[in-house]
């Protein structure tokens, strides 16, 4: 299947470079280029891309706000292109529904891989942008009292079956559907079904959001085992 991609960046050279890089892939076609978030919202509605590669910092409407508006109106995936200076926007991008995060100096192989992962419903975060960044954005400190949102998340976690907890743990560790299927001895279709159920019960729209949910509840932590039944 040929993937339709919309490239969004306010810098003409960067935008053209991304478009050229992606168009060189046999299974990717760039269907449009937008110069800012406002144009991206309009162009996404007319070009109907499978994946949008979106810069974060842009005039008129930034990439995160544009992501929210686009995903509220149509089904597609968004990969955000950031710099280290944009690390503070990582959690905002997650909550907006972005499926991937790459640094602007990522090579063509990684950018193409992120597009393919997003189209499959998987997520890809540049290795340089470690999961610790997500944890720093969402993990409460020991001194922080519980909030109503914490209570809601804990209640949602309690609705997950043992198998769904195992799948959530694997998602939080960054495993793809195929990798989860091999680890849990399930078919890929069954894994997708469990992930859909996890999304429905937790309110997540993307795998990254599901991983953040796991961190927020304390169910999983980077580099560690999940609590609860998934490893019992």
Residue 46 maps to which CATH number? 3.40.50.2300
pLDDT at site 124: 75
The tokens describing 201, both together, are: 């019960």
Number of domains composing the chain? 2
pLDDT at site 46: 97
Q: Does residue 30 sit in the same domain as residue 119?
A: yes
> How many whole angstroms separate alpha carbon 201 and alpha carbon 205?
11
pLDDT at site 215: 80
pLDDT at site 173: 82
Q: Does residue 51 sit in the same domain as residue 98?
A: yes
Contact 3, 29 (CB under 8 A): yes
* pTM of the entire predicted model: 0.73
Q: Does residue 95 sit in the same domain as residue 195?
A: no
The tokens describing 227, both together, are: 């609590």
Contact 123, 117 (CB under 8 A): yes
The tokens describing 29, both together, are: 């076609």
Q: Does residue 40 sit in the same domain as residue 111?
A: yes
> How many whole angstroms separate alpha carbon 21 and alpha carbon 28?
10
* Average pLDDT per 10 consecutive residues for the chain, totaling 232 residues: 94 93 95 96 97 93 94 93 69 82 84 90 68 53 56 85 92 85 93 92 84 81 48 34
Final residue before a domain boundary, out of 129, 164, 199: 129
Q: What is the DSSP letter of 204?
A: -
pLDDT at site 61: 93
Residue 112's φ and ψ, nearest 5 degrees, are -65, -40
pLDDT at site 145: 54
> How many whole angstroms separate alpha carbon 219 and alpha carbon 146?
15
Query: Domain containing 215: what range?
Result: 140-231
């Amino acid at each position: 299947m040929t993937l339709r991609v919309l490239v969004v960046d306010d810098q003409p050279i960067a935008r053209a470079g991304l478009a050229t890089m992606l168009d060189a892939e046999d299974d990717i076609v760039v269907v449009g280029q937008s110069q800012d978030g406002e144009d991206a919202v309009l162009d996404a509605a007319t070009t109907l891309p499978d994946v949008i590669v979106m810069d974060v910092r842009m005039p008129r409407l930034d990439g995160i706000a544009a992501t929210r508006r686009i995903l509220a109106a149509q089904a597609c995936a968004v990969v955000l292109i950031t710099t280290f200076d944009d690390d503070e926007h990582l959690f905002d991008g997650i909550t907006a529904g972005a499926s991937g995060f790459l640094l602007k100096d990522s090579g063509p192989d990684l950018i193409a891989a992120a597009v393919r992962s997003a189209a499959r419903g998987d997520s890809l975060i540049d290795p340089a942008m470690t999961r610790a960044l997500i944890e720093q954005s969402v993990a409460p400190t020991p001194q922080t009292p519980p909030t109503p949102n914490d209570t809601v998340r804990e209640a949602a976690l309690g609705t997950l079956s043992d198998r769904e907890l195992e799948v959530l743990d694997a998602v939080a560790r960054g495993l793809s559907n195929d990798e989860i299927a091999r680890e849990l001895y399930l078919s890929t279709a069954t894994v997708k079904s469990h992930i859909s159920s996890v999304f429905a019960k937790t309110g997540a729209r993307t795998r990254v959001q599901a991983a953040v949910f796991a961190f927020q509840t304390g169910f999983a932590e980077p580099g560690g085992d999940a609590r609860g039944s998934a490893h019992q």
